[in-house]
A and B are shown apart, each in its own frame.
Chain A
């Protein structure tokens, strides 16, 4: 086999310019794919991190039917004390769960004493919420970021702050209907202005959960949702399946399911963008396959045509057809290896340079996000294997033709 590699290498370097051009084409394809995977992957990871860490958490648990009517923020579909206890018991026993936060979601009238508008609110236990959504404090544009919020305080979204001309330290009133329909009002001091982000809950204000209970006159334990943060987001499918199994099987007296469990993917519209990125990556890989297939096949067809007489000679002196086939397949393989090696090296260097130069970008209303492209070994290996396999496949037809060539006809070829 070493002899075949030696001969194939020499043949490749017989036509240096052609070999280099083809290898460069493959290199360009590999670089494009690997850089796209790394940059889009980085963008995806960053955005997923932003969404889960500043808002949603990785998994959310609600009472069955809550998500279908979440636009109305229904208070009559909150989880009750016993249900909360059951969830807490399950979450506490699950090692993959890092922490969780109980939330009451409500709608209210927001008044600055001269004007009134609607506001959606997340009522949280500050320490739990900081652990579950650690980037939430980063969204506080003005005001104290320590401990997120205290009772009697409110974090208001920047759009309301601008529209209602409210500043940090101002007093406001929240008026809300409880689930029985009775109205209650409560004074709050604006502790901070919260940056709005895309996605569900991205433009909600934040108050302390105790204030929500007072405002809504909730006496018992009651929450709208439980947001869960996992130790490792890669465990999401397993934990989700486990929670689905444990909580999904619980039925009420009417035999209907009590809970519903959602991953961030089914809640956030960004998941569709992430899926589109994956789809684009797939199509770019298809393009790479086409580039490699066409370029290698073209070169190998030329190589066979130019060496017909030589093929006749080696066949005449007894080279078995399978060795002639191997000779040309190895040429295609080596070209694939050369292009892939160059492409992978250039890509890894480019990724390192991008990380050192710290490229920033804007996404929606978020500015100055740092691009930190990385690429997994699995992605690199996958691209390398695909390219080399396609190079070999592309060489098969010309190589087969060479191996099946009639020595007499080949020797007569001029």
Chain B
């Protein structure tokens, strides 16, 4: 079963008398354990599409099914629950909580969103920190680690709930070349290990070179879909 199914998806923003059609009737399907990117110039609708998929914003019309659930008409509370259960987020600015340690940041979704029992939660966090190579940094605060390490922690936080889908908005924009490559490889490795679908919105050619499917957006419409089996590793 496809992890994302979008049919005639439309998103229109209204500001006074002005209507802006950010997404204009797009159709696409994304299969489980895919490594997918949406590319396009600024204003093409990449971030809007990611927000729709991430259940952060409801579409104006069309159908959108994520992880087998129709998410078009979810209430605020249900949308939050759905995100907590199914979707992980990786942000451009890492967005770790500064007052929590690395361990606690990864633990946050299990503790505050999913209410996992303590022992099970701790084991899961330790496993996830080990998977992203941050086991020995758990006690540190975000301000005490590098940008690359922060993004690794963010990846761990996104995956810790066994999310079916990780949405990453420009995840390498604030990283140097070497660190960006390392983070991309890490995410790919995580995809292989946990069979999680990764969907990116990006300008970064390093990501585009590594994804298996690329959707190109322009003016809110899908212009092109490219498939490259397995992506270009490295």
Contact = CB atoms under 8 A, between A and B. Distances in A.
Chain A bound to chain B: yes
Interface of A: 3-4, 7, 10-11, 13-14, 309-310, 312-323, 407-408, 411
B51 A408 contact: yes
B23 to A, nearest CB: 14
B97 A320 contact: no
A411 B83 CA distance: 15
Given A310-B97, A310-B98, A318-B83, 13 more contacts: A3-B111, A3-B112, A4-B112, A7-B97, A314-B97, A316-B54, A317-B83, A317-B108, A317-B158, A319-B112, A320-B80, A320-B81, A411-B95
Contacts of B45: none
20 contacts: A14-B99, A309-B93, A310-B97, A312-B95, A313-B97, A316-B83, A317-B83, A317-B84, A317-B89, A317-B108, A317-B158, A318-B82, A318-B83, A318-B85, A320-B77, A320-B80, A321-B77, A322-B77, A323-B112, A408-B56
A312 B83 CA distance: 13
Interface in B70-112: 76-77, 80-85, 87-89, 91, 93, 95, 97-100, 108-109, 111-112
A3 B81 CA distance: 18
Nearest to B89: A316
B188 interface: no
Given A10-B100, A319-B80, A314 B89 contact: no
A318 B80 contact: yes
Nearest to A322: B77
Contacts of A7: 97, 99-100, 112
A14 B112 CA distance: 20
Contacts of A411: 91, 95
Interface string B111-155: 111100000000000000000000000000000000000000000
B80 A321 contact: yes
Nearest to B47: A408
A-B CB proximity, top 7 nearest:
A318-B84, A10-B99, A313-B95, A318-B83, A318-B113, A320-B80, A407-B56
B76 A321 contact: yes
Nearest to A14: B99
A46 to B, nearest CB: 51
Residue from the set B54, B57, B83, B114 with the largest chain A CB neighbour count within 10 Å: B83
Residue from the set A10, A316, A319, A323 with the largest chain B CB neighbour count within 10 Å: A316
Interface of B: 51, 54, 56-57, 76-77, 80-85, 87-89, 91, 93, 95, 97-100, 108-109, 111-114, 157-158
Contacts of B97: 7, 310, 313-314
A317 B108 CA distance: 9
A408 B85 contact: no
Contacts of A323: 112
A400 to B, nearest CB: 13
Given A3-B112, A14-B99, A310-B97, A318 B81 contact: yes
Residue from the set A11, A318, A320 with the largest chain B CB neighbour count within 10 Å: A318
A3 B110 CA distance: 11
A120 to B, nearest CB: 75
A62 to B, nearest CB: 70
Contacts of B95: 309-310, 312-313, 411
Contact of A318 (B51, B93, B98, B109): B109
A13 B54 CA distance: 33
B60 to A, nearest CB: 15
B100 A317 contact: no
Contacts of B91: 313, 411
A167 B77 CA distance: 90
Nearest to A404: B76
A85 to B, nearest CB: 77
A268 B2 CA distance: 88
A315 B114 CA distance: 13
A317 B77 contact: no
Contacts of A4: 112
Nearest to A318: B84
A319 B110 CA distance: 10
A18 to B, nearest CB: 14
A247 B22 CA distance: 88
A411 B57 CA distance: 13
A331 to B, nearest CB: 11
Contacts of A321: 76-77, 80
A408 B57 contact: yes
A322 B56 CA distance: 17
B193 to A, nearest CB: 21
Nearest to B107: A3
Nearest to B161: A318
Nearest to B101: A10
B112 A314 contact: yes
B113 A319 contact: yes
A10 B101 CA distance: 11
Contacts of A3: 111-112
B99 A319 contact: no
Contacts of B83: 316-318
Nearest to A414: B93
Contacts of B108: 314, 317
B109 A317 contact: yes
A317 B110 CA distance: 10
Contacts of B84: 317-320
A312 B54 CA distance: 13
